[in-house]
Amino acid sequence: MLAFRDLLLPLNETQRKAKMSDVKDMLLKQELLQKREAPNSAYEIVDVGIKHAHYFRGVSAKNWDAVYIGIGDNPAQALEHALSQAVEEGWNVDHIAKAQSWPDKPSAFDRLCERALEKDMDIGEYLILTPKAECALCYYMGLRLRVN
């Protein structure tokens, strides 16, 4: 069986350093993935609210390892979307999902209905006659995560 150093012997010094760097990066990624899977990661939920897609400025990632943006019709849907993105990236967010419950209101669709009523239109007519940019309302939630 070959030892790790035997794999590096045929390489010149530059290649050896590059290979060692790749191995270190791989080990750091494995360590981070293992920490992500631990259910004790720190988190913060940012309730951004109902915004137009064109005017949404995002959520700051300063001092956090990862930030996920959830989009939905209401806070519950938007948080579920953010949590599912975190799960896809390997984070264990079960403790967050169990600890947090968000309401189904306010609703971005309800906001559109209110605007339609203000103009004495039904929602179908409003959506047809109004520019798409004005109808692009979504509820946004940010999920910030950090490995402890």
DSSP 64-93: -SEEEEEEESSHHHHHHHHHHHHHHTT---
pLDDT of residue 70: 93
- Domain with 3 in it: 1-37
69 bridge partner residues: 142
pLDDT of residue 81: 94
Do 104 and 47 share a domain, yes or no? yes
pLDDT of residue 142: 93
Q: What is the pTM of this model?
A: 0.64
Task: Classify 6 as helix, strand or coil.
Answer: helix
Do 33 and 48 share a domain, yes or no? no
Do 30 and 43 share a domain, yes or no? no
pLDDT of residue 143: 93
pLDDT of residue 134: 66
Distance (Å, whole) CA 114 – CA 87: 35
Do 53 and 22 share a domain, yes or no? no
Q: One digit per residue, pLDDT tens: the chain, 148 residues?
A: 455 555 555 666 776 676 667 766 666 666 665 555 556 578 899 988 888 777 777 788 888 989 999 998 888 999 999 999 999 988 888 888 777 777 777 887 787 778 777 878 777 777 777 766 566 778 899 999 988 7
Do 78 and 13 share a domain, yes or no? no
> What stretches of 10-63 show up as alpha helix (H) in DSSP?
13-37
